[in-house]
Structure 1
């Protein structure tokens, strides 16, 4: 045991002595969580709105004021022709155009239901869909008070009135950080742990010092584990840093058990360390280890884990493929614990899968490493 602890201490010295390793290990997670947390967003704020066909009627004025007062929109100007609207989109001067048809004021005060046309830039379909929904909600709210009572009575005879109240569970403010923070946590822990473990072991092989270590009295398996232990402990420090930034900077609360969240995160760290050990047995250079553990893992984790795109919306073969991505199960568990505040009863399946992945990868990695030694 003393020899094992001595090797762990030596590995710590190697890590702290290398400033680049420290920067990647401790600096990159902070930069990534802040960058992803603030840069990646599905929210619409201060969308530029142009108004077409505005005549100054009180109904139109009320509607424009509602749009201007809303945090999602900012009325930046008025147009007179359809050609000006299309030119504004081509010049990137507008995100949304609200067009009042001729006779809109008469329709709003008469028996007919008024119609408003929305022109939205569809080059970004998701943002366009959000802007359309937001604008429709604001317009319907503004116009509901303008309809005369006679029209309301006639409508109520045709169909009974239905009152719809929507309540957003777990994320009432609809902050995109609630969705991306768990995914970024999985991405950081997977990439950093895998990359650092694989590179540290391959570095010994590349410089020829691995043979010296293996010639020591301690068993080879404990030498490999001793090199992984420091990265596990430093990854736990990363986890604490990420959680602090998530809560106090990105304002994403931890609704569930912090102990359960830490346990699930440590399981993912074990999976990543085992994967890094497996990568180290497959390559002999640090460059190859970086490419495999960094570049090769980044795209599957980002695209197939649910970090950016919902897995349920993917083709069935990709949904099957996503099941072998450890980060997918971690993100599912973290969202349930961190956002929904559930307990062990609701995340046991994800914990079981991550535990199985960690055990399988560790056994395959150690077995393959012994074969390489022989």
Structure 2
């Protein structure tokens, strides 16, 4: 019994000495509870909303004020024409628009709800919210009639008329796979050298640290691009995923995101001392935020403000926006240049940190 207690004590001291692993093991449950508790929510608030009011009378203003008072929508000013509404949808600042026809006020009336259906779940939820507000507005006027007999709501789902969920999951799965291959696999690249005892070979190598890092990541770049091709083929050939933009621009964007993910993986590998810690850290810092905070499964608009701010630091968020803009909206470089610059800035920053950390380790 005493040898067992001694062994247990030794293992306990070993865990306590490894502070990084201890922080991960104790911190991961708390992080998971907070992420799942706040991120997993079907309720959407403060979604971009606009009214294209062609009636401009008292009933239309009353309906607009009811939408303006709703916590689910944030009124976007300046959308006064059809062209401005389409431009706002393409830019992504608008999630739903209400088109009020001339002569609105005398039943029966017909209203159109235009929704950005690149995320079909969000589009359906917002459309239901708006329909409920319209029914509430007309419920007081229904004297002996149902409100549905007085007003007709015609939904128009932009970019995804049939609300196919695959239009959401193909960009999301591509992002997760690229992050998995590029970041998690490369995060153990340098730590593997340390554990296998081959770091000495690198220490005496005439190659500078930058070239050593490049040599390590090139195979993963090729593997990630091969996975991109497979996912694109399956999405378009099997699931009829549209490809309305440029293939060249899509591949260039994928290469940029792969570079961002690789730089993150290498940075983690230079900061950790074992493959186990590197994998755990990658899972906690990269994979979970990629799935939960990128807008892949759960809309960012439904999250608390602190998580919305944190999501801006998640590279996957910007890549998913790029994929949707190219594949579903048919956008060009003029539509995705801001997201591309953000990914380029992240890549440059993480590569600089990786090279600096690698030099410090070698010293």
- Backbone CA RMSD of aligned residues: 2.8
Q: Please report how far the alpha carbon of residue 288 of structure 1 lies from its aligned counterpart in structure 2 after TM superposition.
A: 1.4
How many correspondences in the alignment? Answer: 228
- Closer/same/farther in 2, CA of residues 167 and 366 from structure 1, 3 Å limit: same
CA distance in 2, matches of 1:189, 1:160: 50
C-alpha deviations, 1:280-307, integer Å up to 9, x for none?
1111211111111134422111111101
Which residue pairs with 1:53 in the alignment? none
TM-score, normalised by the number of residues in structure 1:
0.56
Provide the C-alpha distance between the structure 1 equivalents of 2:148 and 2:348, rounded to a whole number of angstroms.
61
Where does structure 1 lack aligned partners over 5 or more consecutive residues?
A: 1-41, 43-125, 137-153
- 1:228 corresponds to 2:211: no
Contact (CA 8 Å) 1:304, 1:318: kept in 2 or not?
A: yes
Determine which structure has more spread, i.e. the larger CA radius of gyration.
1
Q: Distance in 2 between matches of 1:293 and 1:340?
A: 32
Alpha-carbon distance change, 284 to 160 in structure 1, aligned in 2, over 3 angstroms: closer
Hey, what does 1:326 align to over in structure 2? 315
Query: Does structure 1 conserve the Cα–Cα contact (< 8 Å) formed by 2:209 and 2:358?
Result: no
Pick aligned residue for 1:191 from 174, 180, 188: 180
Is the CA contact (8 Å cut-off) linking 2:267 and 2:353 kept in structure 1? yes
State the SS of the aligned residue for 1:231: helix
The TM-score, its normalising length taken from structure 2, stands at 0.58
Structure 1 position 203, deviation (Å): 1.0
Choose which of 236, 243, 249 in structure 2 pairs with 1:247: 236
CA contact (8 A) 2:263 2:354 kept: yes
Give the distance between the partners of 1:216 and 1:252, measured in 2 at CA: 47
Matched, 1:362 2:322: no
Q: 2:277, 2:192 → 1: CA distance?
A: 11
Question: 1:171, 1:285 → 2: CA distance?
Answer: 46
Matched-pair contact (CA < 8 Å) for 2:246–2:332: yes
2:161 to 143, 154, 172: 172
Report what 2:140 is aligned to: none
2 CA distance for matches of 1:344 and 1:197? 29
The change in CA–CA distance for 1:253 and 1:159 in structure 2 (over 3 A counts) is closer
Q: CA deviation at 1:211?
A: 1.3
- Residue of structure 2 in register with 1:342 after alignment: 331
Distance 1:159 1:179 in 2: 31
Change (3 A) 1:229 1:162: same
Contact 1:195–1:293 (Cα < 8 Å) also in 2:
yes
Q: 1:281 aligns with which of 270, 289, 313?
A: 270
Query: What is the DSSP-based 3-state SS (H/G/I as helix, E as strand, rest coil) of the residue aligned with 1:206?
Result: helix
